[in-house]
Amino acid sequence: MPLSALIVDDEQLARDELKYLLDQAGDVEVVAQGANGIEAVDLIQEHHPDVVFLDVQMPGLDGFAVIKRLMDRHAKDATEPIPQVVFATAYDQYAVRAFDVNAVDYLLKPFDRARVQQALDRVRGRITENATGPRPEAQIEALLKLLNRPQANGRGAQPAKLAKLIVQLQSRLLLVDQAEICYAAIDEGVIRVVTQTFEGQSKCRTLEELLDQLDPDQFWRAHRGFVVNINHIREVVPWFKSTYQLRMNDKKQTEIPVSRGQTKRLRELFNL
């Protein structure tokens, strides 16, 4: 039985190129094509394809937002399937090689015939192993973590402003731009992630693990229990015995202590 495939890309030439390669691969039926993320969500629900070749950057909803919608629907209705996802983009990055050992694949434009065939083989293998392999939503979470790892160098790297972090809000898994995060705090093993508009939880177990996913140029561990986005510090407040507190620009204007060991770093950051 042939694989059913959906192609979603805002560039007609990219869709045509990928469809040609899939047709040439054989045993693949392209059931539909979409030009944006909104169409992607609707077409997936309509056709339930085995695999979606999904562009990352699109108008309306980007590839990450499409996945979020799929996971939201799956959380509400477990019978709503999540297809295998193969990302397709023109942007190279550090995580690309990591996908060589992942079931969810990642293709770079312009597409390579052999690489497309390799992605199809992996999709078939994952479908065959579906009973014992990772759940598709678990694969997607792993993929997002890889995509958001700090870049080894700037060459071909995805801009930091595109980096996302998974934040759980009740039963929903939101993809949040790192730049939107004001601070994160750990309390009794639970990490709260606070933005200017909402507060959720990270699935990370420690702040060290969270920091590994964050941009070191923006985020600073001001205290053993807090990580702050230095771009969201509203005010530096002098405190007892030459210590300081940071007043953040979240809704509550939360005050965060600066540990004595980090006071020097604070002075360096703001020329105090």
Q: What is the pLDDT of residue 139?
A: 54
Q: What is the pLDDT of residue 195?
A: 94
In sequence order, the 6+-apart residues with CB closer than 8 A to the CB of 176 are 164, 165, 166, 167, 193, 195, 200
Q: What is the pLDDT of residue 65?
A: 81
DSSP string, 175-189: EEEGGGEEEEEEETT
Give the SS3 label for residue 76. helix
CA atoms within 13 A on the CB side of 261: 5
Give me the residue label for tokens 């192609």.
7
- Strand residue runs (E) in the chain: 3-8, 28-34, 51-55, 84-89, 106-108, 164-169, 172-177, 181-187, 190-195, 199-202, 219-223, 226-229, 233-238, 244-248, 255-257
Between 12-25 and 113-128, two packed helices, what is the crossing angle to 10 degrees?
A: 70
Domains of the chain with CATH codes? 3-147 (3.40.50.2300), 177-270 (2.40.50.1020)
Distance CA 243, CA 127 (A): 57
CA angle 63, 118, 42 (to 5 degrees): 30
Distance CA 33, CA 31 (A): 7
Give me the residue label for tokens 């979603």.
8
Q: What is the pLDDT of residue 189?
A: 86
Distance CA 236, CA 26 (A): 63
Distance CA 45, CA 18 (A): 21
Distance CA 41, CA 31 (A): 14
* Under-70 pLDDT residues of the chain: 91-104, 130-163, 272
State the burial class of residue 140 (Cβ atoms within 10 Å of its Cβ: 0-12, 13-18, 19+).
buried
Q: What is the pLDDT of residue 91?
A: 64
